[in-house]
């Protein structure tokens, strides 16, 4: 399977890693949309949020814990930040390996574009 995020998780493709453990990896987005733009992914290949199974419930919780940890480390926790997960084409999903976007360091707008 040719998945760029699997390759990043396996260190076969370079990325600026900010966190990794047995279940999750986080790295800087190559095309940042805010001063802080980190992607948090599971090591497990899950294409979209629609593919999550009951057995992935704890994994999803871990991804949020990792995002929170990075938000605190990067100093955006108190100011505020945004967590985004795009699902399928109309939401703008381009990489079909589940990922949380952690965005912060600037004021965010609502509704999102």
Among 43, 48, 95, 105, binds ligand 5GP (CB under 6 A): 95
Rank residues 38 and 41 by Cβ distance to Zn ion and give the closer one: 41
The token pair at 2 is 């040719």
Among 28, 29, 45, 49, binds Zn ion (CB under 5 A): 45
The token pair at 14 is 């370079």
Q: Which residues contact 5 (CB under 8 A, 6 or more apart)?
A: 39, 41, 45, 95, 97, 99
- Measure the CA–CA gap between 34 and 65, rounded to whole angstroms: 21
Per rule CB under 6 A, is residue 6 in the interface with ligand 5GP?
no
> Contact residues for Zn ion (CB under 5 A)?
3, 5-6, 45, 97
> Contact residues for ligand 5GP (CB under 6 A)?
4, 15, 27-31, 39, 86, 92-95
């Amino acid at each position: 399977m040719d998945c760029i995020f699997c390759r990043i998780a396996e260190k076969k493709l370079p990325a600026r890693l900010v966190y990794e453990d047995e279940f999750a990896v986080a790295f800087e987005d190559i095309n940042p949309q805010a001063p802080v733009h980190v992607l948090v992914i599971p090591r497990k290949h899950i294409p979209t949020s629609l593919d999550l199974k009951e057995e992935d419930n704890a994994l999803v919780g871990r991804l949020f814990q990792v995002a929170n940890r990075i938000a605190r480390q990067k100093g955006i926790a108190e100011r505020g930040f945004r967590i985004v997960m795009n699902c399928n084409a109309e939401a703008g999903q381009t990489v079909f390996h589940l990922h949380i976007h952690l965005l912060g360091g600037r004021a965010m707008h609502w509704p999102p574009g």
